[in-house]
Amino acid sequence: MEVVDDPAIVCTTVQKEFVLRHTRSLKEALIWIVKGRKGDLSKKFDALQDVSFTVARGETVALLGLNGSGKSTLLKLISGVLQPDKGSLLTKGRIAGLIEVGAGFHHDLSGRDNVYLNGAILGMSESTIDEMFDSIVDFAEIGEFIDTEVKFYSSGMYLRLAFSIAVHTDPEIFLVDEILAVGDEPFQRKCLAKIKELAAAGKTLLVVSHDLDLVSTVCERGILLEHGQLIADGPVADVVSELRRRSRADE
């Protein structure tokens, strides 16, 4: 693995195994132990195997792969939601995930309350949110509806507000999962412009998307995952064509 001067993410032989448990009851678990642990109480599968790579600060990387290849698991590991079973994962700088926009929203709170709650969840301080508030509302194009409960928002308004909060958190590392499917076309263009702006400002970007043409324009580098293994890492155009070749071969 190459050594990078100023790494933002260092991922070394990371392994993640998921356990599919069949029961959540203490009784069944006890019976299973009493019976001499016969049979399987759970099933295991490897979501990621031996994945190693380093992302330098300011790099824009596309995580590519078909469904179930482990992309989202990798993003969750980087964001800290999950912990690796083996290997090590180190990050430098504050991370914000656009992994699930609006995950921290509460339907019964107003847009205003949700901006504060979500901003705090993503690591913003009170004074930063105060300062950014108007800009967040402007970008989301919510206007006077900011004091309405978000359950009355259209799905577009909801996603726009969530996206707007996330891009205003000003992290050093940005994790983006399928965010570009948000909203109507004008707003998508606006999001894309914002993401490119972040990249130009020297933020580290990790993007997951199935829109291969789009990630080719945003990212410089591509990492291809298949069944939890890293199979290609290089300039995004090469990796995209490799993915296309492989998915055609499967058909």
Partner 1 sequence: MPPGRGRGLRDVLRDRFLLKLLVRKEIRVRYRGSVLGLMWSYLKPLLQFAVYFVALGIFLNLQGSTPNYAIYLFSGIVLINFFTEALGNATRSIVENRDLIRKIYLPRELFPVAAVWVSAVHFFPQLVVLMGACLIVGWAPSVLQIAALVVAFLLVAVLATGLGLLFGAVNVYFRDSENIVDMILMIVTWASPVLYVWSMVEDVLGEWFFLYQLNPMTVAVELFHWVFWYPTLDAAELAAAPMPPDLLTLWTPIALALTVLIMFLGQITFRRLSANFAQEL
Give residues in contact with partner 1 (CB under 8 A).
18-19, 21, 24-27, 29, 76-83, 88-92, 95, 97, 99-100, 103-104, 106, 108-109, 113, 116-117, 120-122, 125-126
Residue with Cβ nearer partner 1 (18 or 190): 18
- Find the shortest distance in angstroms from Cβ 133 to partner 1: 14
Tell me how far apart the alpha carbons of residues 49 and 90 are, in angstroms, rounded to a whole number. 17
- Find the shortest distance in angstroms from Cβ 103 to partner 1: 4
Assigned token pair, 173 = 């590392």
Q: Find, among 243, 223, 237, the residue nearest to 74 by Cα.
A: 223
Which whole-number Å values give the CA distances from 221 to 54, 83, 105, 227, in the listed order?
Answer: 12, 25, 33, 20
- Find the shortest distance in angstroms from Cβ 196 to partner 1: 24
Residue with Cβ nearer partner 1 (148 or 216): 148
- Find the shortest distance in angstroms from Cβ 116 to partner 1: 6
Question: Do 171 and 96 form a contact (C-beta atoms < 8 A)?
Answer: yes
Residue with Cβ nearer partner 1 (82 or 218): 82
- Find the shortest distance in angstroms from Cβ 25 to partner 1: 7
Residue with Cβ nearer partner 1 (41 or 231): 41
Q: Sheet harboring 60-64: ordered strands across? A: 95-98, 173-177, 204-208, 60-64, 221-226, 229-235
Residue with Cβ nearer partner 1 (74 or 140): 74
The residues, ordered by sequence, that sit 6+ positions from 17 with a Cβ below 8 Å of its Cβ are 44, 45, 46, 47, 85
First to last CA, the chain: 33
